[in-house]
Amino acid sequence: MNPLRPEIALSWKRSELSGLDPGHLPEPTLLGPSDTSGRLRSAARPVLDELGTQLSGTECCILLVDRDCRIVTRVFDSASMQRAMDDLGVLPGAELSEETFGTNALGTPLEVRQGLVVHGEEHFLEPLKGFSCYGHPLIHPVTRRIEGILDITAVGKTANPLFAPVVARAARDIEARLLESAREADQRVVEAFQRAAQRRGLAVAAMGEDIMLTNKAAVDLLVPADHAALRAIAMDLPSGESRTMDFALTAGGRTTLRVDRIPGIDGSALFLLDATGDRKPVRRTAAAQTTSSSLRDELARVRAGTGSVLVVGEPGSGRTWAAREFTGRGGVFIDAARIVAQGQREWSAALLATVDGAASADVVVVEHVHVAPDPVLGLLVSVLESGPRFVFTSDPLDTVREPVRELLTRCAGRVRIPALRHRIREIGDLAASLADELGRPDIRLGPGAVAALAGRSWPGNLAELRAVLAGIPERGSSLPLRAEDLAPEYRSSGRVAKLGGLERAEREAIIDALRDSGGNKVHAAARLGISRTTLYSRIKALGIV
Distance CA 155, CA 132 (A): 6
What is the fold, at CATH topology level, of the domain defined by 6-180?
Beta-Lactamase (3.30.450)
Per-residue pLDDT of the chain in tens (545 residues, 90 and over written 9): 578 899 999 999 999 888 889 998 888 777 766 656 777 888 899 999 999 888 888 889 999 999 889 999 999 988 999 999 999 999 998 989 998 899 999 999 998 889 999 999 999 999 999 999 999 999 988 777 888 999 999 998 777 788 889 999 999 999 999 888 878 888 888 888 999 988 887 899 998 876 788 898 888 788 777 887 788 788 777 777 889 998 888 766 788 999 999 886 767 899 999 876 444 443 433 333 456 678 888 999 998 988 899 999 999 999 999 999 999 867 899 999 999 999 999 999 999 998 887 765 589 999 999 999 999 999 999 998 777 889 999 999 988 999 999 999 999 999 999 998 888 778 888 898 899 889 988 888 887 788 788 877 788 999 999 999 999 998 877 677 888 888 888 876 555 555 655 666 677 788 878 877 877 888 888 888 777 777 877 777 676 76
Report CA dihedral (298, 424, 502, 213) to the nearest 10 degrees: 130
Identify the CA nearest to 90 among candidates 74, 112, 113: 74
Residue extents of the structural domains in the chain: 6-180, 199-274, 289-420, 423-497, 501-541
Cβ–Cβ < 8 Å for 134, 115: yes
Distance CA 370, CA 380 (A): 12
Q: Which fold has domain 501-541?
A: Arc Repressor Mutant, subunit A (1.10.10)
* Residue 250 DSSP class: T
483-494: b (≥16 Cβ within 10 Å) or e: bebbeeebeebe
283: how many CB neighbours lie within 10 A of its CB?
A: 9
471: three-class secondary structure by DSSP: coil
Could you confirm whether domain 289-420 is CATH 3.40.50.300? yes
Strand partners, 95: 70
Sheet of strand 332-335: strand arrangement? 332-335, 363-367, 389-394, 309-312, 413-416
Contact of 332 with 380, CB cutoff 8 Å: no
21 CB-near residues (< 8 Å, 6+ apart):
none
Which of 338, 404, 335 lies closest to 367 in space, CA to CA? 335
Task: Decide whether 289-420 matches 501-541 in CATH topology.
Answer: no
Residue 135 DSSP class: E
* Cβ atoms within 10 Å, residue 356: 11
| Residue (of 218, 213, 189) closest to 201 by Cα position | 218
CB 414 within 8 A of CB 386: no
Complete DSSP assignment for 215-238:
-HHHHHH--HHHHHHHHHHHHTS-
Identify the CA nearest to 451 among candidates 212, 256, 244, 242: 212
In angstroms, the first-to-last Cα distance of the chain is: 34
State the architecture of 423-497 in CATH terms.
Orthogonal Bundle (1.10)
Strand partners, 445: 481
Q: How far apart are CA 124 and CA 133, in angstroms?
A: 13
